Structure 1
Amino acid sequence: MVNLGVIHYAYIIIIIIITIIISIKKDVIVPCILGIGVIGYIFTGNSISAIQIIYKAIVVSGKEFIEIVVVIALVNAMSSALNDLGADELIIKPIKKLMINKTMSFFVLGVTVTLTSWFIWPTPAVVFIGALMVPAAIQAGLPAIWAAVVLCLFGNGVALSSDFVLQAAPSITAKTANLPNSLGIVRECLPFWGIMSIVTITIAFILMRRDKTTEIKINKALIGTKKSSQNNLIGTKAMAVATPCVFIIDILFIKKFNFIGSESTALIGGTASIIMIICSIINTNFKTSLGEVTKYVKNGFTFGINIFAPIIIIGAFFFLGSEGTAITILGNGATGILSDIGVYAASKIPLSKYSVIGIQTAVSTLLGLSGSGFAGLPLVGTLANTFSTTINIDKEQVAAFGQIITIWIGGGTIIPWSVVAAAGICKVEPFDVARKNIIPVTCGIVATVILALLIL
């Protein structure tokens, strides 16, 4: 039995304050840092320890994000090398034939990142597909901010919430729901996934068509202004062919060896590093490339840290809500504050079909605030198992419903610190991307909840 204490209520109040500040489009670094200190003081009762916890939280947050920072930096460096060589223009030339306008760009980019995410993983898929296809989409008229929205909604939403191929998400949900395998979750997930995806993508597309303010704001840095392909035309053409082919081979390896998460991201990042070096050598020579590669890497990491610096601070506060990171930050005896709040709410509300759906929705939303869709899946599965033993309700359906809501909220669509991969590739602000996603995702969640009320 979980009981809420001062630390839980303080955390809720700070979240409300942060939400209000975000809604008025102001930075939230100050309340996040102060919030960490307040939670640290409540937990330890010691001012010195509270100050140390602020630092520890930021370090832990940095460690959680470093993988994405590195892969974005390396892919950014690779893109710069391809741009200087002139190979990027040749790579996107065939894609331009499909991306004839912003409508086609919206769906071609979306479908491609969905299919790729199913077979590898959303983060490397977003980085990989974004680096190759976003410039062509922007040239066709799709604003950079909406390209980032597409990468988030299709990759971190449509693909990750279903996870039909790798089945990492359904496996976690099924295991904690005490189910023999993930097939039942995958099957019951289909109607919820379908309505959530269709409604969200449709609303996003309508908003994109109506958004006239960003149509002229084409990010020329993504398209590139410098071309030096005349230095070595044969080498340029060779890299234009080799780059997508090598990444396709990466996808085949990822599928063959069942690489998931960090393993697939590592393969994409390492490949990007090699391509960057080869492009630099072809464009200049080996001796000159020693300095050029250093420049590319410096610029890539400068760009990555510039995007992530505020996200690391914000994430540091919200990582207190997840048990694993909370223990690392606060020390032994710490629990996931958001998880505690979810369990407490579930234990205090009388159970019926309607309250179960409400609890799953509320708990999934709370867990999603941590910015990790997967972190909430164990509790979602556990609650589904508990509900099914108390009232007559389909455990697989309840678990599948919770999985969809949790991942769509926390997996990388409306939480600013979870959309940084897409924002980084498109060179836009994460908070701007999250704001664009809020209305479509909210509409999708409402439609999914209505469907759950009808079929559960």
Structure 2
Amino acid sequence: MGIELVGIHWIYILFIILIIGFMIMRRDTTLICVIGIFIIGLVATQSLPESISGVFNSFIYAIKELLGTILVISLIVAMSSVLTKTGINEMMITPFTKLIRTPGLAFWVVGILMMIISWFFWPSPAVALIGAVLLPVAVRVGLPALGVAMAMNLFGHGIALSGDYIIQGAPKLTSSAAGIPIGDVMTASIPLVIVMGVVTTVTAFWFLRRDMKKGKLKNDLTALQPIYESDSKEPYMLSLGTRKLFAILIPLLFIGDVVAMVLLKLQGGDATALIGGTCIFIMGLVSLLAHRNEGLEKSTSYLLEGFQFGFKVFGPVIPIAAFFYLGDSAFFDLFGKVLPAGSQGIVNDLGVALAQSVPVNKAISSITLTTVGAITGLDGSGFSGISLAGSVAHLFSIALGTGIATLTALGQLAAIWVGGGTLIPWALIPAAAICGVSPFELARRNLKPVLIGLAVTTIVAMFLI
């Protein structure tokens, strides 16, 4: 027996279509989500004050859900800032410069190292670190700066961020929207991330080598000179021996965190808390040693810097997440049990109705999730719309009766590869700027490999559902 769809369900569908439409037009969707929450609240409560209050309370609900992720990213940025200013970051990465002898090695070493660092620090600080240390080395052995930028984007903003296995920010958002444990999404994403990563990077490298042989890409060190000059003028605040000690100690601490996660079976908030706590202690200790008498004040400055970054990145996410959380249990918490008897939430109801009225198969579901994920990434964030991917995955999985984790992971992967910093020019600016290349040219170079990767990954997902 099906669930009766009422006006609230249709309003929810209408605003999902509006949000996707505005994303396609590259317009901001924050106000659309706010209006959607207000109208749903007004229909549900028949009260203007309660519907207005519902908008505010939905933001609080979203912030509570996202707070751990926002906090750990802020702490990682704060720690990364002090490590960069003290030269510890450079010391950590310098040994890898000995591996770079050819353009091919430069591409893969830069990419793999970017991926590893991005798992722990996220791509934004990793771009600055890789750019400052490995970019000149890679360019001198013959890899064009554009190739370095491609490697950083595809491995960092693509592979590392789409899986996000250490910080777990992306799977937290999608799993919450889909209503499943975060571990299910992470497990399901492993084969998809591997397929997408291998296909995309190998394809990108093949195109890169082909154009290098044809002489279409040139090396130009002069564009990079200002970066090196500005870095060399800043003296480090710690001795060489101290920097070496921390360069060894910090990776060991994070390796210890990973071991603890495995042995103690820590996931989600527990794993995030372990990483975040480690970052706090590293940041505080390095600040005290580097700034001495000013260490207490400087540590606060680094924290403020991190929090500013965290809320700047997640500010646009909160209203969007607030709207999509209404599709699940948040609706009952905010507006009460006003849906028809037997309702399990808006998205669940839509999934049941879809299963009863529309022939949905694995191929259509996979293609739809990839498309929805890619569309949500058009805003250049990669994170602001992945709650939608989780909600749509929930809807289709109900219709199929299986595959919710795989569909959720597929939508997450598509959203982040498109919007997280590989295809949208305004999301590519950090990597493009530090490499001295045009973000539009970088986006054009990434386009074919990423589209080929998404097509292959979508086909693979059809067999995994």
Q: Secondary structure at the match of 1:27?
A: coil
1:78 matched residue in structure 2? 79
Corresponding position: 1:265 with 2:272: yes
Counterpart selection for 2:152 from 147, 152, 155: 147
Residues 116 and 311 of structure 1, relative CA distance in 2, 3 Å threshold: same
- TM-score, scaled relative to structure 1: 0.69
For the residues of structure 2 that align with 1:242 and 1:415, how far apart are their CA atoms? Answer: 34
Give the partner amino acid of 2:152: A
Aligned to 2:42: 41
> Residues 113 and 325 of structure 1: is their aligned pair in 2 closer, same or farther, counting only changes over 3 Å?
farther
Aligned to 2:255: 248
Alignment-derived partner of residue 311 in structure 1: 317
Alignment match of 2:329 (pick from 304, 324, 329): 324
The change in CA–CA distance for 1:400 and 1:57 in structure 2 (over 3 A counts) is closer
Kindly state the Cα deviation for residue 65 of structure 1 after the two structures are TM-superposed: 2.2
Letter in 1 for 2:94: K
Shift in CA distance, 363/328, structure 1 to aligned 2, threshold 3 Å: farther
| 8 A Cα contact 2:354 2:399, kept in partner | no
SS of aligned partner of 1:258:
coil
Aligned-pair CA distance for 1:96: 3.1
Q: How many residues align?
A: 406
Could you give the per-residue CA deviations for residues 361-388 of structure 1, whole angstroms, max 9, x where no partner exists? 547876997625777777666555x4xx
1:10-40 deviation digits (Å, cap 9, x = unpaired)? 2233233333333333322222222221222
Tell which deviates more after alignment, 446-455 or 151-160.
446-455
**What CA distance in whole angstroms lies between the structure 1 residues aligned with 2:16 and 2:226?**
33
Q: Does the aligned pair in 2 maintain the 1:124–1:264 contact within 8 Å?
A: no
Q: Give 1:69's aligned residue.
A: 70
* Aligned counterparts of 2:396 and 2:454: Cα–Cα separation in 1: 16
Tell me the equivalent position of 1:347. 356
Give the distance between the partners of 1:208 and 1:338, measured in 2 at CA.
Answer: 44
Comparing 273-282 with 129-138, greater Cα deviation is found at: 129-138
Name the structure 2 match of 1:408: 413
Amino acid at match of 2:259: L
Question: Residue type of the partner of 1:347?
Answer: Q
Distance 1:377 1:224, change over 3 A: farther
Aligned equivalents of 1:105, 1:332: Cα separation in 2:
58
Alpha-carbon distance in structure 2 between the residues aligned to 1:77 and 1:48: 40
Pick one of 231, 238, 260 that aligns with 2:245: 238
CA distance in 1, matches of 2:364, 2:198: 22
> Does 2:304 correspond to 1:298?
yes
Specify the alignment match of 2:18 in structure 1.
Answer: 17
Q: How does 1:370-449 map to 2 (within 5 A)?
A: 371-372=386-387, 384=400, 386=401, 402=407, 405-409=410-414, 412-414=416-418, 443-449=452-458
Give the Cα separation in 1 of the matches to 2:311 and 2:108. 30
1:336-385 Cα deviation digits (max 9, x unpaired):
4344333322221247xxx343246547876997625777777666555x
Secondary structure of 2:329's partner?
Answer: helix
Tell whether 2:284 aligns with 1:277. yes
- TM, length-normalised to structure 2: 0.67
User: How many Å separate the matches in 2 of 1:339 and 1:440?
Assistant: 36
Aligned-pair distance for 1:293? 0.8
Relative to structure 1, the CA distance from residue 399 to residue 32 in structure 2 (aligned partners, 3 Å threshold; closer, same or farther) is closer
Residues 112, 25 of structure 1: alpha-carbon distance in 2 compared, 3 angstrom cutoff = same
Q: Where does structure 2 lack aligned partners over 5 or more consecutive residues?
A: 139-144, 169-173, 377-384, 434-438
Partner deviation per Cα, 1:276-332 (whole Å, 9 max, x = no partner): 1221222121x32111111111122122222222222232223223x1333334434
